[in-house]
């Protein structure tokens, strides 16, 4: 495993971009230079994040997500286990 998080990652287990082993290392995301804690999915190459809106649900009862564009910088908060 490298010290660079993947280009695209999602916390939704139904997504094709979900990776439990990567998420176990606690991925952090800086968006436009600010630390974001409500990121549900990101894509570095396309410069966007999907963040959840607090206290708002979609028609299926899932958290409402909005897509924001800008510079995305993912990083690992925990070191790799050897």
**For residue range 29-48, what is the model confidence (pLDDT) as tens digits?**
999 999 999 999 999 999 99
**Tokens read off for 40:** 């549900």
Please tell me whether residue 60 adopts helix, strand or coil conformation.
Answer: coil
Number of structural domains found in the chain: 1
pLDDT of residue 2: 66
Q: Is residue 82 part of a domain?
A: no
**Is 47 contained in some domain?**
yes
Which pLDDT score, from 0 to 100, does residue 67 have?
97
In a domain, 43, yes or no: yes
Q: What pLDDT digit, counting tens, does each position of 54-82 carry?
A: 899 999 998 899 999 999 999 998 777 76
Evaluate whether residue 79 is within a structural domain. no
Neighbours of 40 (CB within 10 A): 17
Q: Is 6 exposed, middle or buried (0-12, 13-18, 19+ CB in 10 A)?
A: middle
Residue 3 lies in a domain: no
Q: For residue range 7-32, what is the model confidence (pLDDT) as tens digits?
A: 999 999 999 999 999 999 999 999 99
Is there a domain that residue 78 lies in?
no
- Domain hosting 24: range is 8-73
The answer to whether position 30 is within a domain reads yes
Residue 1 placed within a domain: no
């Amino acid at each position: 495993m490298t010290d660079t998080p993947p280009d695209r990652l999602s916390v939704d287990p139904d997504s094709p971009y979900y990776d439990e082993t990567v998420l176990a290392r606690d991925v952090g995301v800086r968006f436009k230079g600010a630390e974001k804690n409500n990121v549900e999915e990101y894509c570095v190459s396309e410069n966007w994040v999907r963040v959840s809106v607090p206290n708002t649900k979609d028609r299926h009862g899932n958290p409402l997500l909005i897509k924001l564009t800008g510079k995305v910088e993912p990083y690992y908060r925990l070191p790799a286990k050897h």
